[in-house]
Structure 1
Amino acid sequence: MTVFLILATLLVAGALLLVIPPMLGAGAKAREHAARQEQVRTVLIVLREQLAELEADHAAGRIADAEYQRSREELEQRALTEAGTTEAGVDAAPARAWALGVVFAVPVLAVAVYLVLGTPEGLDPASARPAPEAGHQITPEQMQAMVVQLADRLERQPDDVQGWMMLGRSFAVMQNFQGALATWAKIGTKIPDHPDILADWADLLAGASGRKFEGDPDRLIARALELAPNHVKALALSGTSAFVRHDYATASAQWEKILASLQPGDGAYGSILASINEARAKGGMAALSPPAGAQMAGIGGAPAAREEGAAASAPLTLRGRLSLAPELVQQAGSDATVFLFARPLQGGMPIAALRLRAGELPVEFDFANAQRMSQGPLPEQIAVGARVSKGGGATAAAGDLESQTVLVAPDAQGVSIVIDRVRK
């Protein structure tokens, strides 16, 4: 009876693991949408502060009426565009009521079906006492124990394809990357030669190593593509691996194979095409034009479609390290907002901005996926600076902590920005 109950609970828990996290907003699409919304909010904050600065300059007579009107219209148009991007995002609101209903309904239905079709008298009545209502909830410790049991069973029965897929996805849902690595070290050599399993575990192992694909992830991806050359997840991972190691031609080629299997009206078509064109831009290749009817979505939530004949702006690939001087750590506090700006040398609207928390510093920053706030060709040099905003606004104020402005190329690497002074 005990074995039966363990297996039944494991199966129900596995089903809930596949269904409940997306309903609670924990799926990959929800995380992507949340990141996109966060970037849009950052842009809107900066635009609002830019408008306030413009109003102040006009009131003080520092800019002419014509320049004021033109700049105001540009800011308003940009704000409308960003607001439209926010509304166009996927509906990632958690369906908690449905999730709660599923959590209770699945076990109840399973028991009901067993009572009708199974053999209830086969259970020992003395030990089969009704569980309290809270018993429907599975604690993380119980789930971890079930995963360990599944891993132990796969060590003895390595040909169980569904078991391997459930094990990999359970580790991914639980974000237990260390457990996945330990399990892989123990029984990874027994993995079935199946493209779905190979791709899932390649993704899991790459995530466990900080999206580094060298070694086992690349080997598993290559084998999955040998078995199924058009396997979508394997192609996507292969392109990502190539992109990470700056092999942009291969990244574009692998993603183009996915694009060829989609219709222009598919929702994913635009985002894949945008990724392809980003790789092609970084690799010095001509961009692919979207066909009529393609649903376009830019990197980081920005619209990727441009007016016909307009020249695509060069990518901003500035990377480096942002840190806070040790003597200012206590003064900054861990929850203060940090803005990192990339601006034209002559000032004005930032080209792009990143928003962080002071508690995250020091941090490696990368503008490659940052929301562009002004379009057009990039200058040969840009001004980069950071500020800890005590009030949370993008406009500088007395008491803020800030860095020196550094002049760099838009594709500079290894740039060091240190917040080391208090604004007077």
Structure 2
Amino acid sequence: MTLFLVAAALAVVLTLFLLLRPFLWKPRVSTTTHQQLNAAIYRDQFAELERDRAEGALGEEDYQLAYAELQRRMLEDSRQDDTVAAAAPAPKKTMLALALLVPLTALLLYALLGNPAGLNPPEPQRRFSVDEIERMVAGLAAKLENEPDNFKGWAMLARSYKAMGRLEEAEKAYGRAMKLVETDANLLADYAEVLALNAGGKLDGKPMQYIAKALKLDPDAPQALVLAGTAAFERKDFAKAADYWDRLLKQLPPESEDARSLGESIAEARKRAAAK
């Protein structure tokens, strides 16, 4: 389970960015805030991996694969500029949705990981090249051809493909994992995200079916609540969107900045619901 939470945290930023990227209009974010948030996230993720290996939840090969992928992501994030340009301006309704939904990225990470204790990532044991990471992922894929019932392996492969941007392969790997286990809310939400990304960012249809199933298994699953609220807002069911986000709000420290931002989003959704 802890491995799934680590991977879910990686998925959040990537998913929301890819879902919303076509609509962004030259947004600017604070480099300092971005770097601090990433440092805190990666610090926690490296610690989780170490604990999983120490407790026997991860074998050495799986540990090295996950560790290398975290290193690659951390290095990529550290090189990113603080300005992201988009190809086209966004329609007003999409920009409103962005104003409400972008803060939820930090909220979901906070709900998944808690309040990070520090901002400095651990010193890596060694640096893996992109080629090495790709070879390890390819090795895992080959291994799974001989171990088709290895659920954890398929889940790890799916999330590795997703982190690498190989979304079609990620969808197939998630599909293999889902044939083995369909009772993990985090995995269901991850699969829903990939399906939506491969469908041009559309959450309705099959992605929403998996989101609903995730929430049936765990009504408080943060990632599923964010996606469900997003889908409701997109279809102008503002009352339902507010309900999903309110359930996430209850998981946050009441005096936190995250809770305040989410509260504003909920208030806006309720305002629009009342105006219908």
The TM-score with structure 2 as length reference comes to: 0.54
- Equivalent-residue separation in structure 2 for 1:270 and 1:165 (angstroms): 34
5+ residue gaps, structure 1: 1-6, 40-97, 108-135, 287-424
Task: Give yes or no for contact 1:20–1:99 (8 Å, CA) kept in 2.
Answer: no
Instruction: Report the counterpart of residue 220 of structure 1 in structure 2.
Output: 210
SS at match of 2:77: coil
Mapping of 1:10-21 within 5 angstroms? 10-21=62-73
Instruction: Report the counterpart of residue 248 of structure 2 in structure 1.
Output: 258
Task: Give yes or no for contact 1:203–1:217 (8 Å, CA) kept in 2.
Answer: yes
- Equivalent-residue separation in structure 1 for 2:251 and 2:122 (angstroms): 37
SS at match of 1:283: helix
1:171 aligns with 2:161: yes
Deviation at 1:253, TM superposition (A): 0.6
1:199 aligns with 2:194: no
- Equivalent-residue separation in structure 2 for 1:240 and 1:234 (angstroms): 10
Supply the AA of the counterpart residue of 1:241. A
Ranked by relative contact order (alpha carbons within 8 Å, sequence separation 6 or more), the top structure is 2
Task: Give yes or no for contact 1:196–1:224 (8 Å, CA) kept in 2.
Answer: yes
- Equivalent-residue separation in structure 1 for 2:78 and 2:275 (angstroms): 36
- Larger proportion of strand: 1
Instruction: Report the counterpart of residue 41 of structure 2 in structure 1.
Output: none
Deviation at 1:275, TM superposition (A): 2.6
Identity, in percent, stands at 28
Query: Closer, same or farther in 2 for the Cα pair 1:100/1:186, shift >3 Å?
Result: same
- Equivalent-residue separation in structure 1 for 2:149 and 2:259 (angstroms): 37
- Larger proportion of helix: 2
Equivalent residue for 2:173, pick from 177, 183, 189: 183
Deviation at 1:164, TM superposition (A): 4.3
1:138 aligns with 2:190: no
Instruction: Report the counterpart of residue 77 of structure 2 in structure 1.
Output: 25
Task: Give yes or no for contact 2:154–2:176 (8 Å, CA) kept in 1.
Answer: no
Supply the AA of the counterpart residue of 2:73. P
Supply the AA of the counterpart residue of 1:244. E
Query: Closer, same or farther in 2 for the Cα pair 1:241/1:264, shift >3 Å?
Result: same
Deviations for 1:361-389, whole angstroms, at most 9, x for unmatched residues?
xxxxxxxxxxxxxxxxxxxxxxxxxxxxx
- Equivalent-residue separation in structure 2 for 1:282 and 1:165 (angstroms): 39
Query: Closer, same or farther in 2 for the Cα pair 1:234/1:152, shift >3 Å?
Result: farther
Task: Give yes or no for contact 2:155–2:174 (8 Å, CA) kept in 1.
Answer: no
Query: Closer, same or farther in 2 for the Cα pair 1:285/1:256, shift >3 Å?
Result: farther
Deviation at 1:181, TM superposition (A): 2.7
Task: Give yes or no for contact 1:232–1:258 (8 Å, CA) kept in 2.
Answer: yes
- Equivalent-residue separation in structure 2 for 1:179 and 1:246 (angstroms): 32
Task: Give yes or no for contact 1:168–1:204 (8 Å, CA) kept in 2.
Answer: no
Task: Give yes or no for contact 2:158–2:169 (8 Å, CA) kept in 1.
Answer: no
Mapping of 1:201-350 within 5 angstroms? 201-284=191-274
- Equivalent-residue separation in structure 2 for 1:101 and 1:186 (angstroms): 35
Deviation at 1:210, TM superposition (A): 2.6
- Equivalent-residue separation in structure 2 for 1:164 and 1:144 (angstroms): 16
Task: Give yes or no for contact 1:205–1:217 (8 Å, CA) kept in 2.
Answer: yes
Query: Closer, same or farther in 2 for the Cα pair 1:137/1:213, shift >3 Å?
Result: same
Task: Give yes or no for contact 2:226–2:244 (8 Å, CA) kept in 1.
Answer: yes
Farther off after superposition, 179-188 or 236-245 = 179-188
- Equivalent-residue separation in structure 2 for 1:266 and 1:198 (angstroms): 29
Deviations for 1:66-87, whole angstroms, at most 9, x for unmatched residues?
xxxxxxxxxxxxxxxxxxxxxx
Query: Closer, same or farther in 2 for the Cα pair 1:185/1:268, shift >3 Å?
Result: same
Task: Give yes or no for contact 1:235–1:257 (8 Å, CA) kept in 2.
Answer: yes
Deviations for 1:322-356, whole angstroms, at most 9, x for unmatched residues?
xxxxxxxxxxxxxxxxxxxxxxxxxxxxxxxxxxx
> Rg larger in 1 or in 2?
1
5+ residue gaps, structure 2: 1-58, 87-119
Farther off after superposition, 245-254 or 186-195 = 186-195
Give the superposed CA RMSD: 3.7
Query: Closer, same or farther in 2 for the Cα pair 1:100/1:229, shift >3 Å?
Result: closer
